[in-house]
Amino acid sequence: MHRASRCRLAKGTAFERNVFMERIVVSCMDRRLSGYLDSKYNDGKTLFMRNAGANVSDLERSIREALMEYPEIESLHVAAHTDCGAMGVVYDALTNPAHYNGYDYDIKKVLLDRFAGMAIARKDMLERINKNIQELAVSYMLPGELRVTSELIDLSALSIPESNGKHVLVISEPSNARYADMAKTVNAQIQSIYFIQGYEIKDIMPDIKIAVNVLHLNDVRLLSDGLGLSDDEISMLKGTIDLRSAQFSAVKMIRPDGN
C-alpha cells in the first residue's frame, strides 16, 4: 500500500470511496472559515485539508495520498484569508528576532523559515505573499498535474456569527464532510471550531503545536470520519502531541445519511 508511515490518521469510508472527488481545497484551520468553506465549496466533491495558514508544502504527503486515492481530482484551490493568526505568528517572528527564538523547532521549520529574510512591512502584505507562495508551491510539487487557483478570503466581508468563546480544536483526516455536520458531531458551534485536517500526523504536528501551544486551545477532539483509530494509534497520537493541559477525546463522525 502507498501509506506506510507509522502514525497516520485513518481514512476512507465507503461513502467517500463511492464519491467522485473533483478538487482539493487547502485552507487555514481558522474557526471563522468553516461556514464560508461549506457554502462555497462543499458540494460533496471537495476534499478539504486545513492547517495553520493554508500551508500547502506542509501537506505534500497528504496531497499525494489524496491523488492516489482519488485520481480523478483535477484541481487544487488554496483558500488563505485575512486577519490570519498563523500569519500573525510569522509576522511576530519576522519583526521580533527574540520571539523567533522562542518558537518550537517544527513551527520554525514549516511556517516561519519560509519567510526568512523577506522584507515585509505589514501583516496584510504577508498574507497576500503567503497566498501566492502556496499557489506556487503546488506548481513546484506537482508540475502540470493539477489546475491550481487561490484566493485571499476577506474575513471582514463575511457575516460570521458570534462565537460563545468555547473554542475547540478538531483534528481529522481530509474529508468531504460538511463542517456543519462535523460541528454537530462534536457538539460545538461551527464558528468556534479550529479544524486541522491531513492524512499524516507528521504533516500536521506543527499545526497542532501552534493550535495548542500558541493559540492555547485546550479542548482537542480527534474526529474520525473513516474506519476509526485503534487504541494504539490514539495513544501514539496522545504521546506524540505535547498536549500539556489540553483535554483530549476521540469522536466518530456521524453523517446525516447514516454513513
Q: Which residues bind Zn ion (CB under 5 A)?
A: 28, 30, 84, 86
Of 30 and 181, the one with the shorter C-beta distance to Zn ion is: 30
- Identify which of residues 201 and 211 has a Cβ nearer to Zn ion in the complex: 211
**Burial class of residue 53 in the structure, from the number of CB atoms within 10 Å of its CB (0-12 exposed, 13-18 middle, 19+ buried):** buried
Grid coordinates standing for 20?
467522485
Least Cβ distance, residue 83 to Zn ion (angstroms): 8
The alpha-helical segments, DSSP class H, found in the chain are 14-17, 34-41, 60-69, 85-95, 97-102, 105-107, 123-141, 179-185, 201-209, 231-240
- What is the nearest approach in angstroms of Zn ion to the Cβ of residue 238? 26
CB atoms closer than 10 angstroms to residue 221: 21
Q: Among residues 107 and 253, whose Cβ is nearest to Zn ion?
A: 107
Amino acid in the structure at residue 147: R
Please give the Cα distance from 55 to 133 (Å, whole number): 9
- Closest to Zn ion by CB, 131 vs 221, is 131
We find the least distance from the C-beta atom of residue 34 to Zn ion, in angstroms, to be 12
Closer CB to Zn ion, residue 84 or residue 196?
Answer: 84
- Least Å distance between CB 81 and Zn ion? 6
DSSP structural state of residue 141: H
Smallest distance, Å, CB 203 to Zn ion? 17
Pair 52, 198: CB distance under 8 Å:
no
